[in-house]
Chains A and B, each alone.
Chain A
Amino acid sequence: MNTSVISRAPNQSVSLADRLIRVHIDLWLMLLLLVLGVVGLLVQYSASGHSMAVVLNQAERLGIGFAVMVVAAQAPPEFYRAAAPWLYGFGVVMLVAVLVLGDHAKGAQRWLDLGVLRFQPSEILKLAMPMAVAAWLHTRALPPKISTILITLAIIGGPTVLIAMQPDLGTAMLVLAAGVLALYFGGLGIRWILMVIAAMAAAAPLLWLKLHDYQKNRVLTFLDPERDPLGTGYHITQSKIAIGSGGLFGKGWLAGTQAKLDFLPESHTDFIFAVYSEELGLLGEAVLMALYAAIVGRGLYIALRGQDSFQRLLAGSLAMTFFIYVFINMGMVIGLLPVVGVPLPLVSFGGTSAVTLLAGFGMLMSVYTHRKLLSN
């Protein structure tokens, strides 16, 4: 193992990006995420009916998130690889605990009250899952053999089922995606990918029987939004009205009517993209999508620069999970996907998911900034 410090010629000026790398921060990712956070706060202000309190509250959460990100970036990737099994194990225990002892919120057991803080153990798995799968595959020859794949699927399946049992299908799906993506980046054969898709399709009817009524309604409504326009179809109908009425240029910031007049439910949480679209139009959406695409692209770039399998698989999985987040939320808000409770990353109101996501970006920065010079 031959490692050395990055060295430069004395006459070469040191750029801001390079200086930030020394404190383990990726300038581009940081900038993009900050811009996204500010955009989110601006939309929050409009969606909450000009409530500074909501904006400050959210800013505080984002602040915590960015702090967590910077701290997370300081630890080297090796730390995460070593911690992966422990964090994964802790998460699974917590998931079991939540099913046994958890608080009930809206008919679902998601929260664990530890006296000091209430938190959702499923959030841990959003990070623990890609870490665990990446760490496990790191020890295997890739592309993985059948036995490796089966063990990986077991690693992925356990927590996913536990989360789905809460039931929290949205998070289960994201956790599942994080694990499967890591496996995909590990070189899972195309045949296997097709088989996993087939297995999921086969399990769908079984899953259907297990669904709560409100979940079934969401799916039925997705298939036919006009089925119950005042009930379960109301969200999606009002959301489409908000977006469609925005048009190319939008109605202008703070000038949207659907959210302000309460026609659009959940306007500052899951459906904030509808508010954004109504006020800023197709052009605004293009900007937002470009922002997200740039973040994902930067994440994938970092993944490509990863120095071992663990780093690559973890970074690739985190970047793509972030994209899945965005896709599911937007797809749901514009009526392409059924309504599942997935927020728009860093824009929707809510602290937990923002902190988790930013912690993930901290790991990406860790991968990018803790480089070892490799002898060839």
Chain B
Amino acid sequence: MNAPGSSRSGFDAIKNLYEEKRTFTGRVVFAAVLCLLMIGMLAARLIDLQLVRHDYYSTRADDNRMRLTPIAPVRGLIYDRNGALLAQNLPSFVLDITPERVRNLNDTLERLKAYVRLTDQDIARFRERMRKGPRYRSVTLRSNLTPEEVARYQLNRFDFEGVEVNAGLVRDYPLGESAAHIIGYVGGISEADYARLEAADYEGLSQIGKSGVERSHEDLLRGTPGTKIVEANAAGRPLRELESRPGSSGQNLYMSLDSQLQLVAEKALGDLDGAVVAIDPRNGEILALVSKPGYDPKLFVEGIDAASYRGLLEDKSRPLYNRALLGTYPPGSTIKPFMATAALNFKTVTPDTGIYCSGSMTLPGSSRKYRCHKRQGHGTVNLDSAIAKSCDIYFYQAAMNLGIDRIDEILGQFGFGKPTGIDVPNEKGGLLPSKEWKRRVYKQVWFPGETLSLGIGQGYLTTTPLQLAQGTARLAMRGLGFKPHVLHAIADPATGAIAGVAPEALPPLTGQSAELQERVIHAMQLVTMFPGGTAYRAFKDAPYSSAGKTGTAQVVGLKQEETVAPTFDSTPKHLRDHALFIAFAPVDAPRIAIAVIAEHAGHGGSVAAPVARQIMDQYLLGKVLYNEDPAGAAAAAAAAAAADPALEAEEGVPADDEEPPPASPPPATTPR
């Protein structure tokens, strides 16, 4: 047996070739078995990964490659009741920066200034937003780039890695300041906003309704964000679109506002600070709502800079403040029709009860004099003359006879003392004082003298212009009331379907007699339609019937010893009286009810009533006052006057009964 190599020297022992072969065979078999075992281990692991946990890893793989990109919905448009645009979306060029793609941010910003106008405010705002988001998300540096800026930037864009000009939509309010308080505005979503909203609803959106209808109907206007699923590589770069689920645009809203009427109302109030609310008494729709001074909502859409914002906040006339909903004013004599309704309701007076006005009165056991605004007295007055001439003594008496509890009951039913629930955010409820309230707030009992002050709308009683308009509408509807609202209809842009908003009826006044209500309205007609009425001059020649009540609310009460009120012009402006007026028309089929408050403007009849007249003319007669052709307007007015010879005859009768501020006790904690 010759084994290969056996001839060579160096073997340390005799090789047993057979044994070696046998051993080797055993080793090979063992190795093969080992291989199979190891393959089994690999297979077990692979089965675990690919069969048992396949779903888990599939999801992980999809999570890796799929990126959800939100598609921002287009915000709904806002129209007035006639289809005039109040809020729209305009295309706009914005300059976006993706932080993670910019190598030297400070340098980039500095160099950008050569091509695009950039204020420190823009940069500060940009840094703020950048800090909040992930670095791969682009942040807007400037919006509303001019075409010139876009062109200049595009020529040099190769120097700006990570900066790009994008086309977007920006909210625009075509009417500018007009109706700004009620339309509101949108602005950047703040931390506080994020805390209360559902983040999924705002995917891809950067703005949210901040005030007015933009805020209260945010859910309708916003729409639903869509989603785009894109496949992205490990670096996050989107490669292709896998799926697109479009969202839906926001609903278009038709507001009850009449923008023409709104403009007329704003113009009628002129430079005065104050508020006007015009309401359709038949359904509670707000036709016009003015708060002066106003502001430009565009400032807020882009993000207002700190200086301008501080300016608006510190402005003494408070332009941002919606006086119609937030301003609480003593109603003054405009409360008298409501008080009369209460008195007739509880039969503490009859329409024909005569009360003698000597110019002042005292309560039993007190020396304090309660004065009528007419020093020499009105003589004997009944309901008609008391309202027409705004006699204070009559209503002191009426209030005293009613007592605070019954006054509260009726005024409460008219909506005083609590927010109306209008669909505009931020509303105050005014103050309807009661015994309980006095005890709670002042820890004092209710004094009878305070009831007297209430009778003429002074004292603790305050009301917002909206509440006053709502109450007037209810008077006009002979006790029927509707919740005030500004949303008229909702249009779905996808289907084109328009759904009207149904008026919400409020519980009618209790124990109301139609006959007695007519008596109050008759008395109010005397105010506007008959010589001697406090608003007769303002409504002279109106071709429609109307009913109203003037008011002049004290800002500061006269001291008891002061027998002669200081003259209007000698009083510092912020202490001058507020001029108020409420009215509705036409009397038999009311279509509009109005409350006007002009701050520190003097008499209701001379200042506030003409505002209401212009609004009513516009609404009931149509564009009479603000025709392009002034001659035509004058002719129309003349024709209207000629149509009613009775009114013509009354011309020249001086309405000398403009009430000066009533000498009521100061609305304070010291009734005695």
Which residue numbers of A lie inside 8 Å of B, CB to CB? 1-2, 78, 81, 138-143, 145, 147-148, 181, 184-185, 187, 238, 240-248, 257-258, 261-263, 277, 281-282, 285-286, 289, 293, 296-297, 300, 303-304, 306-310, 312-313, 316, 320, 323, 327, 330-331, 334-336, 372, 375-376
Contact = CB atoms under 8 A, between A and B. Distances in A.
B235 interface: yes
Interface stretch (B2-10, B380-388, B435-443): B2-10
Interface string B3-33: 1110110111111100111011101100110
A335 B41 CA distance: 12
A289 B43 contact: yes
A335 B12 contact: no
A308 B1 CA distance: 13
B20 A309 contact: yes
Nearest to B60: A241
7 contacts: A145-B13, A244-B49, A244-B50, A244-B60, A289-B43, A312-B21, A320-B35
B356 interface: no
B668 interface: no
B239 interface: yes
Interface stretch (B51-59, B144-152, B550-558, B617-625): B51-59
Contact of B12 (A148, A261, A289): A148
Nearest to A289: B39
B50 A246 contact: yes
B4 A187 contact: no
Given A242-B61, A257-B231, 10 more contacts: A139-B10, A140-B12, A143-B23, A147-B12, A244-B56, A245-B58, A282-B50, A293-B35, A296-B35, A334-B42
B649 interface: no
B242 to A, nearest CB: 11
A87 B276 CA distance: 106
A307 B31 contact: no
A241 B64 contact: yes
Given A263-B64, A289-B43, A240 B49 contact: yes
Nearest to B20: A142
Complex A-B, nearest 8 residue pairs according to Cβ-Cβ distance, in ascending order: A244-B57, A141-B13, A245-B61, A262-B234, A261-B233, A244-B49, A187-B23, A308-B4
Nearest to A282: B50
A366 to B, nearest CB: 14
A307 B3 CA distance: 9
Contacts of B10: 139
A147 B13 CA distance: 12
B4 A307 contact: yes
A327 B42 CA distance: 8
B640 to A, nearest CB: 78
A247 B58 contact: yes
B14 to A, nearest CB: 7
A138 B5 contact: yes
Contacts of A300: 28, 31-32
Given A247-B50, A262-B234, A304-B25, A139 B8 contact: yes
B28 A139 contact: no
B445 interface: no
A47 B592 CA distance: 77
Nearest to A77: B4
Main secondary structure of the interface of B (DSSP, over half): helix
B64 A281 contact: no
B238 to A, nearest CB: 11
B231 A261 contact: yes
Nearest to A297: B32
A142 B30 CA distance: 17
Contacts of B53: 244
A308 B3 contact: yes
Contacts of B2: 1-2, 375
Nearest to B45: A334
B217 interface: no
A163 B64 CA distance: 38
B34 to A, nearest CB: 9
Nearest to A243: B49
Contacts of A184: 27, 31
A316 B34 CA distance: 13
Contacts of B5: 81, 138-139, 308, 310
Interface in B487-537: none
B311 to A, nearest CB: 49
Interface residues of B, number: 52
A89 B585 CA distance: 118
A336 B49 contact: no
Contacts of B64: 238, 241, 257-258, 261, 263
Interface in B35-75: 35, 38-39, 41-43, 45-47, 49-51, 53-54, 56-58, 60-62, 64-65
Contacts of A282: 46-47, 50-51
Contacts of B641: none
B54 A244 contact: yes
Residue of B4, B16, B234 with highest tally of chain A CB at under 10 A: B4
A258 B3 contact: no
Contacts of B1: 376
Contact of B65 (A247, A263, A310, A375): A263
Contacts of B57: 240-241, 243-245
A82 B667 CA distance: 123
A307 B27 CA distance: 16
Nearest to A78: B4
Given A1-B2, A309-B20, A327-B38, A257 B61 contact: yes
B21 to A, nearest CB: 8
B232 interface: yes
B239 A304 contact: no
B15 A293 contact: no
Nearest to A300: B28
A251 B59 CA distance: 14
Nearest to B22: A187
A309 B7 CA distance: 15
A223 to B, nearest CB: 16
A81 B4 CA distance: 12
B24 A312 contact: yes
Nearest to A238: B64
A250 B175 CA distance: 62
A247 B16 contact: no
Nearest to A264: B234
Nearest to B15: A141
Nearest to A187: B23
A54 B235 CA distance: 23
A289 B659 CA distance: 107
Residue of A78, A145, A300 with highest tally of chain B CB at under 10 A: A300
Contact of A336 (B8, B28, B45, B61): B45
Contacts of B232: 261
Residue of A248, A277, A297, A308 with highest tally of chain B CB at under 10 A: A308
Given A258-B64, A327-B38, A316 B4 contact: no
Contacts of A263: 64-65, 233-234
A187 B11 contact: no
B52 to A, nearest CB: 9
B49 A141 contact: no
Contacts of B60: 241, 244-245
Contacts of B46: 243, 277, 282, 285, 334
A262 B231 CA distance: 12
B65 A261 contact: yes
B15 A247 contact: no
A335 B57 CA distance: 14
A235 to B, nearest CB: 12
Nearest to B41: A336
Contacts of B8: 139
Nearest to A258: B61
A39 B27 CA distance: 31
A285 to B, nearest CB: 6
Nearest to A376: B1
A141 B12 contact: yes
Given A243-B49, A244-B50, A308-B4, A185 B24 contact: yes
A190 B64 CA distance: 49
